[in-house]
């Protein structure tokens, strides 16, 4: 892991000063990220960790140390909000809400993760409407 290659947003355009990212995430989710002691339990129980570019504990570390490229991590979009991580965290940190906060920071800038025009016609015809509703609720601001 540890390899963020996607570019959804130009993080410099966010005008976040040093330390602003963790403050904004904490404000949005109400969690204390500094309570995390990086045990990795959240990542060990995440059903999607193998497909993520940053594991959930790495996402938290990136936010704390102000590595804004976390906002371009595909992990925050792959997160299915299943709460498995939050249930297992020995520090009672709700990682699911942290992932949602990171998505919100991007979506509130009117940057959409999914653009309907980019979905191929065949997929639009074969994928259930409900799946699109869920997708747009999560990926479109």
Binding site for ligand SF4 (CB under 6 A): 36-42, 45-46, 48, 56-57, 60, 79-85, 89-91, 93, 95-96, 99
The CB-of-85 to ligand SF4 minimum distance in angstroms stands at 3
For residues 11 and 77, which CB has a smaller minimum distance to ligand SF4 in the complex? 77
Return the half-sphere exposure (C-beta side, CA atoms, 13 A cut-off) of residue 23.
Answer: 5
Encode burial over 74-92: b for 16+ CB neighbours within 10 A, e otherwise.
Answer: bbbbebeeeebbbeebeee
Contact 125, 57 (CB under 8 A): no
Token pair, residue 34, equals 């500094």
The residue with tokens 């355009």 is 13
Cβ-based nearer residue to ligand SF4, 37 or 124: 37
Residue pair 42/88 in contact (Cβ under 8 Å)? The answer is yes
Beta carbon of residue 139, minimum distance to ligand SF4 (angstroms, whole number)? 15
Q: How far is the CB of 28 from ligand SF4 (least distance, A)?
A: 16
Nearer to ligand SF4, 10 or 47 (CB): 47
Minimum distance of ligand SF4 from residue 31's CB (angstroms): 9
d(CA 59, CA 2) in angstroms, rounded, equals 9
Q: Which is nearer to ligand SF4, 9 or 33 (CB)?
A: 33
């Amino acid at each position: 892991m540890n390899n963020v290659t996607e570019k959804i947003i130009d993080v410099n355009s966010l005008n976040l000063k040093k330390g602003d990212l963790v403050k904004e995430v904490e404000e949005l989710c109400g969690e204390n990220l500094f309570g995390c002691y990086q045990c990795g339990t959240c990542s060990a129980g995440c059903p999607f960790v193998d497909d993520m570019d940053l594991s959930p504990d790495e996402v938290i570390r990136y936010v704390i140390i102000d590595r804004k490229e976390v906002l371009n991590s595909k992990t925050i979009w792959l997160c299915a909000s299943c709460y498995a991580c939050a249930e297992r965290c020995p520090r009672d940190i709700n990682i699911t809400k942290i992932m949602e906060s990171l998505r919100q920071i991007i979506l509130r800038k009117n940057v959409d993760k999914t653009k309907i025009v980019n979905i191929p016609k065949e997929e639009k015809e074969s994928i259930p409407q409900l799946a699109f509703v869920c997708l747009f609720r999560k990926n479109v601001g």
